[in-house]
């Protein structure tokens, strides 16, 4: 049976995350409903990973297995006709039978956006965390250097994630200021539950001078969640890209 790989983008505002839940609307449920409607058979979608309630994606990779007479180049258009405006399939390809969007991933990149302004902006309000207080970007950039590399990131993990190991590799962590918008791009081999949002919350404490940049080293060594910053709100987070082996 052919395996189809597809890239999906979505605005997560109206969904309780990506993964299917019993009593809440999720992106996976909507995707499965649309694809099943087009192919006239039950379809199970497997994603590269979960995104939390309110988190967005530009490059979520998924698969489904199905026999269909629809040409692969026409599948995206057909499925999109059944999807709401806040979910869109960008590309569909035939994948190898053993391809798995989670286990074959080489690295993932997330972006967190912060609107560092005196006033809100209704045009990006759903996609950036409004933070109207002074931030020292250079302190945040210095702190970011301590997070790059392979570490036990237990201090940046919320309870309930269920990971077998809390060791992860961060390949790159960039903090870029564009006028009143601060972009935090994190690339790693994988992420723990709420890891990126806790990293952002910690960087905000450093930028607001409640922690020192070199405190990061001790926080990581401690493996103590209580020493890190709060979990930043979900609306600022977007899954940007997944690179495969």
Residue 195 lies in a domain: yes
pLDDT at 245: 82
CB 55 within 8 A of CB 82: no
**What is the DSSP code (8-state) at residue 209?**
T
Q: Is residue 180 part of a domain?
A: yes
Asked if the structure places residue 101 within a domain, the reply is no
Could you give the number of structural domains in the chain? 2
pLDDT of residue 159: 84
Q: Which domain holds residue 139?
A: 106-244
Per the structure block, which two tokens stand in for 111?
Answer: 């972006």
- Note whether 143 and 77 are same-domain residues: no
What pLDDT shows up at residue 163? 80
Within this chain, do residues 132 and 38 fall inside the same structural domain, yes or no? no
Whether 133 and 90 share a structural domain: no
Rounded CA-CA distance 29/106 in Å is 26
At 154 the pLDDT is: 95
Are 112 and 231 contained in the same domain? yes
User: What value does the CA radius of gyration of the chain take, rounded to a whole number of Å?
Assistant: 19
- Give the model's pLDDT for residue 162: 73
- Alpha carbons within 13 angstroms on the beta-carbon side of residue 147 total 31
Q: Does one domain contain both 112 and 81?
A: no
pLDDT, position 103: 93
- Is 71 part of a structural domain of the chain? yes
Model confidence pLDDT, tens digit, residues 83-121: 999 999 999 999 999 999 999 999 999 999 999 999 999
In this structure, are residues 76 and 61 in contact, taking their beta carbons and an 8 Å threshold? no
Rounded mean pLDDT, 70-78: 95
DSSP SS3 for 158: coil
In the predicted structure, residue 241 carries a pLDDT above the cut 80: yes
Give pLDDT tens digits for 34-51: 999 999 999 999 999 889
- For residue 188, list its beta bridge partners: 108, 170
Express each pLDDT in 187-238 by its tens digit.
999 999 999 999 999 999 999 999 999 999 999 999 999 999 999 999 999 9
Query: Of 95, 125, 140, at which residue does a domain stop?
Result: 95
Do both 147 and 198 map to the same domain?
Answer: yes
One domain, residues 57 and 112: no
Query: Could you tell me the two tokens for 224?
Result: 């103590």
- Same domain flag for 129 and 208: yes
Mean pLDDT of the chain: 96
Query: Which percentage of the chain shows pLDDT scores above 90?
Result: 95
Q: Catalytic annotation on 136?
A: no
Q: Is residue 100 part of a domain?
A: no
Residues 136 and 228 in one domain: yes
What is the pTM assigned to this prediction? Answer: 0.94
Q: Give yes or no: residues 112 and 202 share one domain.
A: yes
What CATH code is carried by the domain that includes residue 22?
A: 3.30.70.580
Structural domain ending residue among the three candidates 64, 95, 126: 95
**Tens digits of residue pLDDT in 120-171:** 999 999 999 999 999 999 999 999 999 999 999 999 999 877 788 999 999 9
Residue ending a domain, choose from 95, 117, 136: 95
113: CATH: 3.30.70.660
Both 137 and 224 in one domain: the answer is yes
Examine the domain organization and report whether 91 and 115 are in the same domain.
no
Burial class (CB in 10 A: 0-12, 13-18, 19+), 79: buried
Question: How many CB atoms sit inside 10 A of residue 242's CB?
Answer: 20
Check residue 113 and give its pLDDT. 98
Residue 173 lies in a domain: yes
**From the candidates 11, 52, 86, 136, which is the catalytic residue?**
52
Bridge partner residues of 244 (DSSP): 105
Across the chain, which distance is largest between two alpha carbons, in Å?
A: 60
Angle at 193 between CA 191 and CA 197, to 5 degrees: 80
């Amino acid at each position: 049976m052919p395996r189809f790989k597809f890239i999906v983008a979505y605005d997560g505002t109206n969904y309780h995350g990506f993964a299917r839940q019993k009593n809440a609307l999720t992106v996976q449920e909507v995707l499965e409903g649309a694809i099943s409607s087009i192919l006239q058979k039950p379809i199970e979608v497997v994603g590269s990973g979960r995104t939390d309630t309110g988190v967005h994606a530009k490059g979520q990779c998924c698969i489904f297995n199905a026999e269909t007479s629809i040409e692969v180049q026409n599948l995206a258009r057909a499925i999109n006709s059944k999807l709401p405006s806040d979910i869109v399939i960008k590309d569909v390809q035939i994948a190898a039978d053993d391809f798995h969007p989670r286990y074959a991933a080489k690295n993932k990149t997330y972006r967190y956006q912060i609107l560092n302004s005196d006033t809100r902006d209704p045009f990006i309000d759903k996609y950036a965390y409004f933070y109207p207080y002074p931030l020292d970007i250079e302190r945040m950039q210095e702190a970011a250097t301590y997070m790059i590399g392979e570490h036990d990131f237990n201090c940046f993990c919320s309870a309930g994630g269920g990971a077998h190991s809390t060791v992860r590799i961060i390949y790159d962590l960039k903090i870029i200021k564009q006028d009143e918008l601060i972009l935090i791009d994190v690339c790693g081999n994988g992420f723990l539950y709420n890891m990126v949002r806790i990293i952002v919350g910690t960087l905000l404490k450093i930028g607001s001078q409640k922690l020192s940049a070199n405190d990061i080293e001790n926080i990581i060594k401690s493996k103590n969640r209580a020493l890190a910053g709060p979990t930043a709100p979900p609306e600022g987070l977007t899954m940007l890209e997944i690179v495969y082996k």
